[in-house]
Amino acid sequence: MNKVILLFKHEFIQAIKKTGYIVLTLAIPVLALIIIGVIQLFSTLFEPAVNELTRVGYVDQVGIFNAYSDQGLIQLFPYQSEDSANVALVDGEIDEFFLIPSNFSSTVSIQRFTMAREIETPIVKKYAISSFLIRNMLKDEVPPGIIETVLSPLDMSVTRLDEDGSVADSQSNIGNIIIPGIYAFLLSMALMFGNNSLISGLGEEKESRLIEVLTSSVSVSQMLIGKVLALGTAGLLQVILWLVSAPLILDLASSTFGGLLANIQIPPTDFH
């Protein structure tokens, strides 16, 4: 037994001292932090300033859109014609403008004009313009409270039930998908490292004839037990370090992705 312990200590120290082991152990959390940092950098560079006031002009060919021009950080200004709005845009009086055609009630389509390079209309501007149009169309027909309800986004929660109709103990959440995937990835990485370490270690010992010295002093079973336990412990240590860093990474990721990952919970195991 003492020989197994000595062999275990030797193999364990040799395993954790390898450059590949140290790089792989640090690579997973560092890579995750780099990805989160890059996403935060790009979101900061391309996200418009929160307190920036946007001046938006509009040309009303219908003749009913004359109220609710204050949409928070987006202010709307009426213009008599498309030409006058275009001149205001070129002169810098407004940041952009849109045209409400006379057949808007049947087409529900507007034309937006801007000097900025955009793939599509930013969601904040799209919501403000949509709110402006809806409020004006319904102002004389529907009470303000109902208009607010229509414009408010739907909040829907889901409750999973058991076969007998009672509320299930384990509710579906994003952790049911992400957490098992993370465990599977970490396990595969640990197994891959252990396999590579065992093969490379046997090759090195065979080349240096160290394995002949080992087999002369310990039995084959003792040697295998010591090596497997050492590599298994090194892999377990690796996974533990990854799991310890997981809360920090998930916290940073939740702030980066708008709180999507903030509610991740490790799903309980069902044994029935």
Q: Tell me the domain boundaries of the chain.
A: 2-34+174-256, 54-151
Q: 167: which strand partners?
A: 161
* Rounded Cα–Cα distance for residues 266 and 178 (Å): 9
Q: Residue 80 — pLDDT band, cuts 50, 70, 90?
A: very high
**In this predicted model, which residue has the larger pLDDT, 106 or 226?**
106
Predicted confidence at residue 222, as pLDDT, reads 78
Q: Residue 90 — pLDDT band, cuts 50, 70, 90?
A: very high
Both tokens of residue 16? 């954790």
Give the distance from CA 38 to its chain's centroid.
Answer: 12
Predicted confidence at residue 84, as pLDDT, reads 96
Q: What's the pTM value of the predicted model, to 2 decimals?
A: 0.49
Q: Residue 23 — pLDDT band, cuts 50, 70, 90?
A: confident
**What is the mean pLDDT of the segment spanning 186-215?**
67
* Rounded Cα–Cα distance for residues 65 and 80 (Å): 12
Q: Residue 55 — pLDDT band, cuts 50, 70, 90?
A: very high
Percent of the chain with pLDDT over 70: 77
Alpha helices in the chain (DSSP H): 2-17, 19-46, 82-91, 104-107, 123-138, 144-151, 175-207, 210-217, 220-256
Predicted confidence at residue 272, as pLDDT, reads 47
Predicted confidence at residue 233, as pLDDT, reads 86
**In this predicted model, which residue has the larger pLDDT, 23 or 267?**
23
Mean confidence (pLDDT) of the chain? 79
**In this predicted model, which residue has the larger pLDDT, 196 or 27?**
27
54-151 folds as: D-Maltodextrin-Binding Protein; domain 2 (3.40.190)
**What is the mean pLDDT of the segment spanning 95-117?**
92
**What is the mean pLDDT of the segment spanning 237-262?**
70
For residue 258, pLDDT over 60 is answered with no
Say how many C-beta atoms besides its own lie within 10 A of residue 198's C-beta: 17
For residue 168, pLDDT over 90 is answered with no
